[in-house]
Amino acid sequence: MAAEVVVPASRLRRFCYQVARKLEVPEDDADILAGTLVDADLRGVHTHGSSLLPGYARRLQAGGTKRDAPLTVVQDGPAVAAADGNAGIGQVIATRAMRLAIDKARHAGIGAVSVRNSNHFGAAATYSMLALPNDMIGFATTNAGTRVPPFGGASAVIGNNPLSYAIPAGTERPIVLDMAQSVVAAGKLAMAQRKGEKIPVGWALDVDGNPTDDPKAGLAGLLLPLAGPKGFGMAVVMDVLSGALSGGAVGMDLSGPRPAERPFRVCHFFMAIDIGRFVEVSEFKSRVDQVIRDTKAARKAPGVSEIYLPGEIEFELRERREREGIPLLASLVDDLEALGADFGLDTADRRLTLGSD
């Protein structure tokens, strides 16, 4: 098993923030970027956490990601807006777009915002969950570079386009669904490669369309859609909601090599639903609580000790890791500390494994 070290969440967040500032990212934007990366690590979604920082840094240096790009609204209405991300930092653009959707829902009952010309935005749940404190249901999706073949195909035609719903509850934890449309996200293969592990056959195909247990071959090849035609169909729908509806890039427009100096051109779609415009919020939350309790009280299959709702495991992980720290691969910590050295961070600031603050 690959070696891990425990990193305090506060130290990791400050490190990511300081690297972003060294790249001349504005303070508020650097804070958003650092917060979203560490939040993913806290929730156990390491494929979308601090492991992305070196790649993001390269793109900011090369110009493929613009360090201070605004979210520009190009069409506006009471409940909807179409916006341009101007090749900005995906997490920053997405956060502002979701906040705009929430603001519109506050006034119109529902808010929807499309975004074109953005960059990779990390974990979709980061944005759907922004609706929760507002007693709203949140939704977020994005398209991505082509990685998934059609069911029965052997060449990629669509991105592994994730979706996330966040639903508030009463005394129970919220329901948070965050899923890609392939069996696993590409980041799972990258993590397996970093650990020197094989992947299960059925996750990916190599460049020739053959099943593989080699994560490197899978990363160079294709990701298999979740549940065959169902996952592929969902990927197509998310592409349309993100790309076609925003007037941005879709499908094969996002194929081919993506050098660091070229924007990803990915597109997003966000929605917020004000629960109180449909039903009393307390009644809604009580009903969601009942769904959760009924689910967890279901008779368990042999060998199963606990039944989980979507997002429950991540909430438990976050609570524990906020107290105990975040376990990261030692090789990743080495890479991050080297990145900090490259950007001239003080020794104390770039040492991630020092004691908690």
What pLDDT, on a 0 to 100 scale, did the predictor assign at position 187? 81
- Among residues 110, 56, 55, the alpha carbon closest in space to that of 78 is found at 110
230 domain-assigned: yes
The pLDDT assigned to 347 comes to 87
- 188: in domain: no
pLDDT tens track for 167-182? 999 999 999 999 999 8
Prediction pTM value: 0.94
**Is residue 337 in some structural domain?**
yes
Output 255 or 132, whichever has higher pLDDT: 132
What is residue 353's predicted lDDT score, i.e. its pLDDT? 81
- Asked if 53 contacts 16 with a C-beta cutoff of 8 angstroms, the reply is yes
**Edge-to-edge strand ranges of the sheet holding 266-274:** 72-76, 80-84, 110-118, 266-274, 136-142, 163-167, 175-179
The whole-chain average pLDDT of the chain stands at 95
Same domain, 144 and 174: yes
d(CA 178, CA 40): 12
Q: What is the mean pLDDT of residues 317-336?
A: 96
Q: How far apart are CA 142 and CA 226, in angstroms?
A: 17
- Cα(198)–Cα(161) distance, integer angstroms: 24
Q: Is residue 104 assigned to a domain?
A: yes
Tell me, yes or no, whether 76 lies in a domain: yes
d(CA 344, CA 338): 10
185: pLDDT confidence band, cut at 50, 70 and 90? confident
Q: Is residue 203 part of a domain?
A: no
The model's confidence at residue 1, banded by pLDDT at 50, 70 and 90, is low
Please tell me whether residues 57 and 73 are part of one structural domain. no
Let me know whether 120 and 102 are in one domain. Answer: yes
| Cβ contact 136:272 at 8 Å | yes
Indicate the SS3 state at residue 73. Answer: strand
Distance CA 92, CA 31 (A): 9
Polymer length of the chain: 357
pLDDT at 194: 86
192-214 residue pLDDT tens: 998 899 999 999 999 988 999 99
| pLDDT tops 70 at residue 10 | yes
Contact 40, 126 (CB under 8 A): yes
Q: What domain range includes position 350?
A: 1-62+325-357
Proportion of the chain above pLDDT 70, given as a percent? 99
Domain count of the chain?
Answer: 2
Q: Concatenated DSSP letters for 234-245?
A: HHHHHHIIIIIH
CATH number at residue 40: 1.10.1530.10
Whether 346 and 233 map to the same domain: the answer is no
Place of tokens 């990779």: 120
- Asked whether residue 137 falls in the same domain as residue 260, the answer is yes
Show the tokens assigned to 318: 């976050």
137 with 53, same domain: the answer is no
Residue 354: band (very low, low, confident or very high) from pLDDT cuts 50, 70, 90: low
